[in-house]
């Protein structure tokens, strides 16, 4: 039947979205767009059992420790703190994770190829987009937390089966990304098998962001000697190609 959702896709949504479970409780199948046969299958489902399954899924998303990076709530402390400040009653963060699993951002993550062939997001990035949409924490801190989480994930999965976030760049010996803290550039990198983070000068940050190193040096009023030593230092970290002084 053309234009009808599959039972599997609807089950996935039912486990993630309370509003759809409420529809099912009222035996209202309109939004599910199912064939009459599949609607009949769902009509026989015990709603309390479905609710328990949905809760188990939320608990799993909250508790799952991702190899390399860890648990989401440990990776996004500022976003979690912002949520807690707004929702002091949500002590176990169940409401937060209920919103997260119901979000489009959550639906975009997964393993391997997605429905449109491109790789899916990692859950760390999907949580970042959720926090953006919910305005949790400051943009600066969110980006730092995303980069730290992604670099840790990439250290153990350097050939990832997930889409690398757009803010992450490939480097000769790994990956890096730049954020800012109080206006100053901060480096996050997974390079040479190590997680590297720390403040950068604006000049070094600009060097990492450009192919035309001479132009960056001119713009920052940096002479050839300092440019050479800077590139050598970055090459030593595996962030730019090995530097051969002229």
Applying CB under 8 A, the residues found at the interface with other proteins are: 6-9, 11-12, 15, 37-38, 41-42, 44-45, 49-50, 52-53, 55-57, 59-60, 65-68, 107, 109-114, 120, 122, 153, 156-162
Minimum distance of other proteins from residue 13's CB (angstroms): 9
For the bound state, the minimum distance from the C-beta of residue 130 to other proteins, rounded and expressed in Å, comes to 14
Nearer to other proteins, 106 or 208 (CB): 106
For other proteins, the closer CB: 38 or 98 = 38
In angstroms, what is the minimal distance from the CB of 38 to other proteins? 8
Q: Which residue has the tokens 């009509």?
A: 43
Angle between helices 77-86 and 123-134 (to 10 degrees): 40
Local structure of 102: helix, strand or coil: helix
Q: How many CA atoms lie within 13 A of 106 on its CB side?
A: 18
194-199 and 174-181 as β-strands: parallel, antiparallel, unpaired? unpaired
What is the enclosing helix (H) or strand (E) of 219? helix 213-219
Residue with tokens 């979690």: 80
The nearer residue to other proteins, 113 or 224, going by C-beta atoms, is 113
Comparing CB distances to other proteins, the nearer of 66 and 220 is 66
CB of 66 to other proteins, least distance (A): 8
Contact 86, 134 (CB under 8 A): no
């Amino acid at each position: 039947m053309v234009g009808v959702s599959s039972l599997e896709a609807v089950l996935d949504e039912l486990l993630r979205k309370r509003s759809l479970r409420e529809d099912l409780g009222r035996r209202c199948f309109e939004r599910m767009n199912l064939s009459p046969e599949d609607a009949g299958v769902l009509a026989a489902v015990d709603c309390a059992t479905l609710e328990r399954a949905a809760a188990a899924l939320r608990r799993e998303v909250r508790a799952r420790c991702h190899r390399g990076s860890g648990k989401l709530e440990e990776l996004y402390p500022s976003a979690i703190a912002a949520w807690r400040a707004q929702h002091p009653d949500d002590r176990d963060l169940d409401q937060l994770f209920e919103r997260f699993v119901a979000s489009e951002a959550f639906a975009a993550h997964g393993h391997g190829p997605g429905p449109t062939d491109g790789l899916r997001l990692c859950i760390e990035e999907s949580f970042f987009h959720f926090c953006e949409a919910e305005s949790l924490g400051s943009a600066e801190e969110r980006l730092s937390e995303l980069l730290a989480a992604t670099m840790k994930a990439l250290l153990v999965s350097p050939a990832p089966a997930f889409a690398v976030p757009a803010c992450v760049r490939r480097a000769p010996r790994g990956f890096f990304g730049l954020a800012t803290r109080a206006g100053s550039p901060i480096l996050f990198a997974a390079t040479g098998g190590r997680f590297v983070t720390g403040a950068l000068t604006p000049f070094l940050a600009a060097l990492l962001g450009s192919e035309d190193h001479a132009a960056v040096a001119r713009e920052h009023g940096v002479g050839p000697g300092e440019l050479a030593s800077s590139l050598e230092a970055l090459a030593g970290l595996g962030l730019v190609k090995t530097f051969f002084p002229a």
